[in-house]
Amino acid sequence: MDILVLVLDLVGTFVFALSGAMLGVRRRLDLFGVLVLAFAAATAGGMTRDVLIGATPVAALSDWRYPAVTLAAGLITFVWAPLIERLQQPVRMFDAMGLALFAVVGAQKALDFGIAPPMAAALGMLTGIGGGIARDVLMAQVPLVLRAELYAVAALAGAAVVAIGHWLHWPPAPCAIAGALLCFGLRMMALRFGWQLPVALQSGGEGEPPDAMR
C-alpha cells in the first residue's frame, strides 16, 4: 500500500503542478513565476496535511522526487503552453484526476498516522483543495476550488470513502480506488452538467453563480 500511495501522490503532484503552471502562463508570469506557481499548486495541500498530522519533515521538502516532478511539469507547460492551452478538456480531466488522487492519498496518510476517520476525511479534502487555494491566493483571486462546481465536495466525498472503508476494516487499496473514482466522477459530471451547490442570496437579489473552471 505504501508504494501505491507514493505513486498516486506523485501522479497527483504532476497534474496539479501542470494546472498551476498553466495559470501562471495565462497570467504571463516569467519562467521562475510559472515554476513557483506549479510548486505551490502541487504541494501546498500535502504540506499542510503533513504539518497537521505531525509527518515532518514534510515529504514535498524532504523527498527529491516531489520537486523534480513539479519542475518537470512546470517546464513542460512553459515550453508547450500553446499546445496544452488547446487541450482544454484533457487539462480539466487532469485537474479532476489530481483532485481525486490527492483526496484519497491525503485521507489514507492521515489514517496511517492514527488520525480518526472523520478528521482523516477532512484532511483528505484539505490535501485535495489546498494547492488550488494557495495557487489562487498567490494570484490575488478568490480560490476557484471554493466557488466552482462541486470541487471541495467531490474531494470530501472521495476522502470519506477511504475513511469509511478504514472504519469498516475494508482493504485500503480498493477503498482508495473507489474513493478516487467517486471524486473524479463527481467533478467531471459537475463540469459536464454545471452542477453546483446553492449560492446564498444577496441583499439586492440573487447571488451570481460561480465561474466555471477555465
DSSP code string of 66-87? HHHHHHHHHHHHHHSHHHHHH-
Which pLDDT belongs to residue 213?
44
Q: Are 202 and 147 in contact (CB under 8 A)?
A: no
Which pLDDT belongs to residue 1?
57
pTM greater than the 0.85 cutoff: no
Which pLDDT belongs to residue 203?
64
Q: How far is CA 16 from the centre of its chain?
A: 6
- CA-to-CA separations, 117 to 144, 195, 199, in angstroms, rounded: 27, 27, 29
Query: Which cell is 148 given?
Result: 466552482
Q: How far apart are CA 214 and CA 211, in angstroms?
A: 8
User: In tens digits, what is the pLDDT along the chain, a chain of 214 residues?
Assistant: 577 777 877 888 898 898 889 889 989 999 999 999 999 999 999 899 999 999 888 888 889 999 999 999 999 999 998 887 777 677 788 788 889 989 998 999 999 999 999 999 999 999 999 988 998 899 888 888 887 778 999 999 999 999 999 999 999 989 999 999 999 999 999 988 988 888 777 765 555 554 444 4
Q: 510548486: which residue's cell? A: 39
Which pLDDT belongs to residue 7?
80
What lies within 8 Å, CB to CB, of 207 at 6+ separation is: 199, 200, 201
